[in-house]
Structure 1
Amino acid sequence: MKRFDSDYAKRGAEKRRLRIYATDPMTARRALYRIAIEIDNEPSLRPGPRGSIVEVHDFDGWNNQYYATVDLNDPTLLMEGGLAPSESDPRFHQQMVYAVSMKVVESARKALGRPITFYRSESRPILRLFPHAFFGRNAFFDPKLNAILFGYFRADPESPGPNIPNQTIFTCLSHDIIAHEMTHAIVHRLRPYFLEATNVDVLAFHEAFSDIIALLQRFSYRELLANHIQASEGKIHKSTMLLELAQQFGQATGTGKGLRTAIDEKPDPTKLAKTREPHARGAILLSAVFAGYLKAFQNRTADLFRLASGGTGILTAGRLHPDLVGRLTAEASQLSDRFLRICFRAFDYMPPVDVTFGDFLRAIVTSDFELNPSDPDEVRFEIVEAFRERGIYPSGVQSLAEEALLWPSAIGVMADPLSPDLLRMARELLNISGRTLDQSRSTRRRSVSEDAGPSSSRERIRHYESLVIESSDDQPDATAGHSDFQSGLYAALHNYATQNAAAFGLSQAIPIAVKGFHSIQRVASDQRLVIEFVAQFVQTDKEQSERWESGGLPFRAGATVIFGSEGEVRYIASKPMPSENLADALKDAAEARRRNTLDFVAELDDRDPRMAVADQVYLRDRMKLRAQFQALHVHR
């Protein structure tokens, strides 16, 4: 008999199991590809499903009708892990997009060490998912609607692949497409200006990163992974099923293969310079990340192959021993989780504008160095080598040595630490962020806490959104103040950035906007608690957007500044603004950025057939129109 009461028997479930297609319905004809995944439980989840982070709205735009919504809190569905996978039941389609989307959000939250929300305005506070939005071979994230719209279409009648000719293909049933579009939404939330095509890498990075997360997410499903490790005899680089993206979509459109693959036949360092289309260029970055993953996997499992082969490293023909498969699966899954975290964590170390593939490499190295300084498995080394083999080099570095790739702590002049008052507010935000992250606590104690009701998770997220600074590109800079705390924090950061403009590569003659400020808390490999504060400062030269040759694209500069727990500046990732108050090297770099942006606009103009018949509206806004996800994904 228990002597003391506790909430052990009263707490709610921390996880919710839901069934999904691990890839898509085409491959899910085999039971192996119909799996159940665990996502964070939202006790107050409403029919739709509609939760505190995403909401599913199932309006069929082509047929002009709403479909009946699924209630995942129905006792029967709770017991059975949701609806069974079905191509024909719209309610399962709703379950599928909700489950996969929340799994990606959960991965991002764990990696970033802070809440992930999609608040844009009072009218659009939650990201909305539309499983049957339109008829067409497309799916895309729309920042203005704050929504992801999934299309459906007929399979190619002549070359449908394993599908039936003219079969209806639902993009909302493709694990890879859902994860890809959800990642677009997360990237846009973290770095809204990564949708402005200021150089050839910007849109390609958006596409590549979304592919990377979609494929790494699939590697977290251990039963699926174990089957392919057995089938490939431990050589997962030979598993087409694991490394191809959106297979049903690609097959149904008559290509005879998946949409993209993570493996290139042979690294070619000259290919990058010759590749301009965003998806094709992004595929090079995708292959670089997965080449690093596969090499790291080989390094981590070499001893297992030696043990299993009597020291030769060459396995005998036949099925692998189940114990060996289990160990290889565990290594592959743990490594994919580390790569997933590495890639997401890099966002806190990337500049706020004008991103390049080289910036991504530096951010990966810097962020992982903070948590794993010694890197005993040489994961960072393999990533750097994979980038080098494909001709991806950061600008402004002397070599590919690790110390050269780390972002600097000073550029030109030293920056001041955060003032005591600003540091106090930053630490207060850290506490609020930590309480918001503790969703499981509010779930467990909702039955015994006086102030925790059914909507406590939603209310806690809304409270966090009213305090943290995460300005979107369509929000005026001065509207950061939804609360006295946020207004005070914004004003203090703005004053700090103005006083340290030269240290961040910014101009003293142009207003500085605070585009983000948040706290992060992570546990390092040696169990240290790493606490940092990340600020994003952006400047905009609006005069350039009014020039015809810019196509409506303003010239922006910015800096992401990472502070330590005591307010000291740890790293600066800067894209400088031309200014007389900067050192000569920074001024030259800023002018080079401006020239490169205008040259890139001219390059796109030369390749754009619409320029010959364009009206004044298109000419004025052509760069914005070219960067819309809907237009980008038409050419998947």
Structure 2
Amino acid sequence: MTEIQPVRKLTIIAKDPALRIGNDGPMVFAQVDVPAEILAPGPTGYRIKVVDYNATEQRAYAARQCYQSGDILLDPFAPIDGEALTDRDYQVRVIGNPNFHAQNCYAIAMRTLGLFERALGRRVSWSSGGHQLHIAPHAFALANAFYSEPDRALMFGYFFDEEGKPIFTSLSHDVVAHETTHAVLDGLRSRYTEASGPDQAAFHEGFADIVAILSIFSLPEVVAAGLGITDNLPGVGEPLAFITEDKVTPAAIRDSILLGIGAEIGMATGAGRGALRQSVKLEPRPDILNNPEMAEAHSRGEVVVAAMTRAFVKMWTTRISHLGTFDGRGYNMTAVIEEGAKAAAQLLQMSIRAIDYCPPTDLDFGQFLAGLLTADRELVPDDSRFGYRELVRQSFGDFGIVPPPGQTDADGCWPHFAASNALRYSRSNAEALTRDVDECFRFLWENREALNITERGYTQVLSLDASLRIDPDGIPFRETICQYVQMGHFFGSELMAICKIDPLPDGFTTRTSADLFGGGVVVFDQYGRVKYHIGNGLIDGERQKRRLEYLRDTGQLRAQGGDERSRFANLHLARMGG
């Protein structure tokens, strides 16, 4: 009887086509684990459906690869006998096949989705409500790639550089992971695409970069090449390989391709400028977010990326310094790479888990930081060994990002819900409370006064997700995350009377109307009791006034929902210089 495989190996380009082994060596390919499944042509699985249609040329690429033989799962682009992943002829042959571009997208998207589901301890749905996200690897002839919620799809373009060489955005791990993260985050927090304050759109971009950057450190061959190593990594039982100290200084790591996004695209579209983004090179300044240049979403999002990647560099180099050197030959290269993988994995899991502790509307960077610290403290209460949380908090503080004053505790975390004794559970079905959205809404409505949920707006429970995580000691950690939103249409007179916005923002009168949003997350513990209530109130006048003034100043006050949903395409096109 054939043993059923839990995962399968698929070949991808491991970081970006610009990452080479040596100055002019071969690209870095890798064979990565993705969930095992019987794939239909495309490839098409239970979460991803690749539809390779080129709208510019009005041409469909036939999917001609076989991904299984009976119960045996195949990698159609694995090197054949006598070939290696680093052989130039092999790489030319594979890259010239559009079906490989499709596989590259499928494998990286599934790998990225898997990172979220493992960190959150549950399945993650797409915001469209469907089971499959579509991917078009050659969607159009344009230097752009974006997530389109109305199309339930990731669109990857292609273009030609000055020498006529085709550049495919679908071949960059950075770009595919970035766009997949947009789709996953939209499934977790669908209101983050609404017009809001300056941080919310920027967070979508910055968070996608954080996931794309940190996710590649689990691939040793990528890290080695990014650090300038040209030799093969030693196998089990083989002699140690060493890396000199000058290659792993903070400055050397910040300058490496490892912490950049889209190097090949950046060089092709920006006259050799290098990566599309190298946020880690931003110099820390507490007032940087007040700079007018930081108004654009990608630029502002880079501040969050810079804070996180600088924390990572500090964490990694500190761990390297504890390794010790070998008689002037440098550090054990394998150990250096392993320490980078551990640090990146910890920060990546913290970042993903933070979403469960972030409000569902009008997010700002300080709230994300509080969610980041809270998520880690819940799973790892004692941070004394490595000091991850203090290091992250300090790095964010260097860029002027601090936990919300007056709303967080001394550690920068969200405090436990203080009015737990005022909550009534007697009218709720205990078994259904953490499983059924209607029962959960009944609980919220019954306790609206204690939870400070206003009756003025329309209230809806968007999701109710049970999570099972494992702490470092192997103990199961269970929570249920309830996400609810509130919406209301207010006239200026109501803004004054109900929200206490007085005076009204310039340009508003008592007859001016505006749509306001609020909401929160209620975190239930394993016993079905409220542990946290983290939210932005619908009638919080101070916050709503800031939001309305920002939307007015940026021309978004009357933005239509459809325009907001397609904004990723416009943002990314502008950023790539298209």
Query: Could you tell me which residue of structure 1 aligns to residue 210 of structure 2?
Result: 212
Q: 175-184 or 229-238: which moved more?
A: 229-238
Change (3 A) 1:114 1:597: same
Contact 2:428 2:443 in 1 (8 A): no
Q: Which moved more, 1:94-103 or 1:230-239?
A: 230-239
1:621 is aligned to 559
Matched, 1:185 2:180: no
Post-superposition shift, 1:409?
A: 2.6
Q: Equivalent of 1:132, from 108, 124, 138?
A: 138
Among candidates 458, 471, 477, match of residue 530 of structure 1: 477
Q: Larger deviation: 53-62 or 68-77?
A: 68-77
Contact kept? 1:19, 1:96, Cα under 8 Å:
yes
Q: What is the aligned counterpart of 2:40 among 32, 40, 46?
A: 46
Distance in 2, matches of 1:420 and 1:11, equals 50
Instruction: Pick one of 10, 17, 27 that aligns with 2:19.
Output: 27
CA spacing shift, 1:328–1:591, aligned 2, 3 Å: same
Query: Is the 8 Å Cα contact of residues 521 and 530 (structure 1) preserved in structure 2?
Result: yes
**Equivalent of 2:159, from 137, 153, 156?**
153
Aligned ranges for residues 265-304 of structure 1 at < 5 Å? Answer: 265-274=282-291, 275-304=294-323
1:22 is displaced (CA, Å) by 1.4
Over 3 Å counting, the alpha-carbon distance change for 1:593 and 1:344 in structure 2 is: same
Structure 1 residue 149, shift from structure 2 partner: 0.8
Can you list the C-alpha shifts for 1:467-513, whole angstroms capped at 9, x where unaligned? xxxxxxxxxxxxxxxxxxxxxx2221111111122333321233320
Correspondence 1:234 to 2:230: no
Match of 1:592 among 531, 542, 548: 542
Instruction: Sort the Cα spacing of 1:289 and 1:553 in 2 relative to 1 into closer, same or farther, 3 A.
Output: farther
Could you tell me how far 1:80 is from its partner in structure 2?
5.8
Segment of structure 1 superposing worse, 383-392 or 71-80: 71-80
The answer to whether structure 1 residue 251 and structure 2 residue 264 are counterparts is: no
1:498 partnered with 2:504:
no
- Measured in 2, the distance between the counterparts of 1:549 and 1:626 equals 23
**Deviates most, 197-206 or 545-554:** 545-554
Task: Report the counterpart of residue 222 of structure 1 in structure 2.
Answer: 220
How far residue 192 of structure 1 moved from its aligned partner, in angstroms, is 0.5
Distance (whole Å) between structure 1 residues aligned to residue 148 and residue 443 of structure 2: 34
CA distance 1:596–1:171, change in 2 (3 Å): same
Confirm whether residue 11 of structure 1 aligns to residue 3 of structure 2.
yes
Question: Superposed, which structure 2 residues align to 1:53-64 within 5 Å?
Answer: 53-64=47-58
Against the structure 1 CA distance between its residues 10 and 326, is the aligned structure 2 distance closer, same or farther, given a 3 Å change threshold?
same
Which residue of 391, 394, 403 corresponds with 2:400? 391
Q: TM-score scaled by structure 1?
A: 0.77
The answer on 1:65 being equivalent to 2:59 is: yes
CA spacing shift, 1:397–1:71, aligned 2, 3 Å: farther
Residue aligning to 1:473: none
* Alpha-carbon shift at residue 81 of structure 1 (Å): 5.5
* TM-score of the pair, normalised by structure 2: 0.84
On the 8 A contact 1:343/1:364 being kept in 2, the answer is yes
User: 1: CA distance between counterparts of 2:491 and 2:571?
Assistant: 24
Compute the displacement of 1:296 (Å): 1.7
Partner in structure 2 of residue 631 of structure 1: 570
Does the C-alpha gap of structure 1 residues 149 and 399 become closer, same or farther in structure 2, counting only changes over 3 Å?
A: closer
TM-superposition CA deviations, 1:225-271 (whole Å, max 9, x none): 13444375333624421111100111110242110013125311111
The question of whether the paired residues in 1 share the 8 Å contact of 2:156 and 2:169 is answered with yes
| 1:407 counterpart = 2:414 | yes
1:78 to 74, 78, 82: 74
Residue aligning to 1:587: none
1:380 equivalent to 2:389? Answer yes
Describe the SS at the equivalent of 1:507: coil
Counterpart Cα distance in 2 of 1:100 and 1:17: 12
Q: Secondary structure at the match of 1:565?
A: coil
Mean CA deviation greater in 503-512 or 194-203: 503-512
In the alignment, what sits opposite 1:456? none
Write out per-residue CA displacement over residues 178-207 of structure 1, whole angstroms, 9 at most, x where no aligned residue.
000000000100000011131010100000
Letter in 1 for 2:415: P
Q: Look up the SS of the partner of 1:149 in the other structure.
A: strand
For residue 572 of structure 1, what is the aligned residue in structure 2?
Answer: 533
Q: How far apart are 1:118 and its partner, in Å?
A: 2.0
Paired with 1:97 and 1:64, the residues of 2 have a C-alpha distance of: 20
CA contact (8 A) 1:536 1:561 kept: yes
| Residue 331 of structure 1, CA deviation | 1.0
In the alignment, which of 338, 352, 366 is matched to residue 346 of structure 2?
338
Q: CA deviation at 1:622?
A: 5.4
Alignment partner of 1:141 out of 139, 147, 157: 147
Quote the offset at 1:325 in angstroms.
Answer: 1.0
The 1:419–1:87 alpha-carbon spacing in structure 2 relative to 1, beyond 3 Å, is: farther
1: distance between equivalents of 2:340 and 2:165? 35
Residues in 1 aligned to 2:469 and 2:52: alpha-carbon distance in whole angstroms: 37
Q: State how 1:101-120 maps to structure 2 within 5 Å.
A: 101-118=109-126, 120=128
Partner Cα distance (2:158, 2:27) in 1: 25
From the superposition, tell whether residues 388 and 309 of structure 1 become closer, same or farther in structure 2 (CA, over 3 Å): farther
Q: Distance in 2 between matches of 1:352 and 1:553?
A: 19
Amino acid in structure 2 at the alignment position of 1:26: A
**2:67–2:76: 8 Å Cα contact kept in structure 1?**
no
Alignment counterpart, residue 468 of structure 2, candidates 499, 521, 535: 521
Displacement of 1:144 after TM fit?
Answer: 1.0
**Which secondary structure does the structure 1 equivalent of 2:280 belong to?**
coil
Return the match for 1:602 from 552, 556, 559: 552
Q: Could you tell me how far apart the structure 2 residues matched to 1:399 and 1:540 are? A: 25
Cα separation, 2, equivalents of 1:297 and 1:417: 47
Give the aligned residue type for 2:40. Answer: R
Deviation readout 1:404-452 (Å, 9 max, x if unpaired): x22133367755265686431367x5xxxxxxxxxxxxxxxxxxxxxxx
Match of 2:197 among 181, 196, 199: 199
Gap regions ≥5 residues in structure 2: 80-89, 228-242, 496-506
Structure 2: which amino acid aligns with 1:568?
R
Deviations 1:511-563 (A, max 9, x none): 32001101001111232211001101111013469999799973111010111
Q: Which residue of 2 aligns with 1:439?
A: none
Tell me how far 1:320 sits from its aligned partner: 3.3
- Structure number with the higher helix fraction is 1
- The corresponding residue for 1:451 is none
Alignment of structure 1 residues 300-449 onto 2, 5 Å = 300-304=319-323, 307-308=324-325, 316=328, 320=330, 324-375=332-383, 376-397=385-406, 401-402=410-411, 405-410=412-417, 416=423, 422-425=429-432
